[in-house]
Amino acid sequence: MTVNECLAAATDSVTIINDINSKGKASEYVMASDYSKGVTQADLNAKVRASIEHLTLILEYDGSRGNPNIKDATVDKSSYTTAITTGNTYLSKNS
């Protein structure tokens, strides 16, 4: 997988964070852990947290273990770092 292919796949996490940040419980990217209670803030936070962790992991790829070297790549990674910041801000306001 190339740097660009890997970042393209990571874009899903950017989309999830931004959608939950703007739509909250109306986000199409979150499912209730208990359908009788509907989507809870804990469900939203778990999805945002998982997306942050996914992006952080991908941005740390250094070319080892068969992964592309994203950490040192000169491509624009601002949408990913911005999503991590947005997600962390969301969690601090909603925890």
| Mean pLDDT on 25-43 | 92
- Residue 90 CB partners (closer than 8 Å, separation 6+): 17, 20, 21, 48
Q: Which of 93, 91, 69, 71 is nearest to 80 (CA)?
A: 71
Q: Is the pLDDT of residue 39 over 90?
A: yes
Mean pLDDT of 32-42: 91
pLDDT bucket at 50, cuts 50 / 70 / 90: very high
Instruction: Taking the CA atoms of 24, 83, 9 and 63 in sequence, report the sign of the dihedral they define.
Output: negative
- With beta carbons less than 8 A apart as the criterion, state whether 47 and 23 touch: no
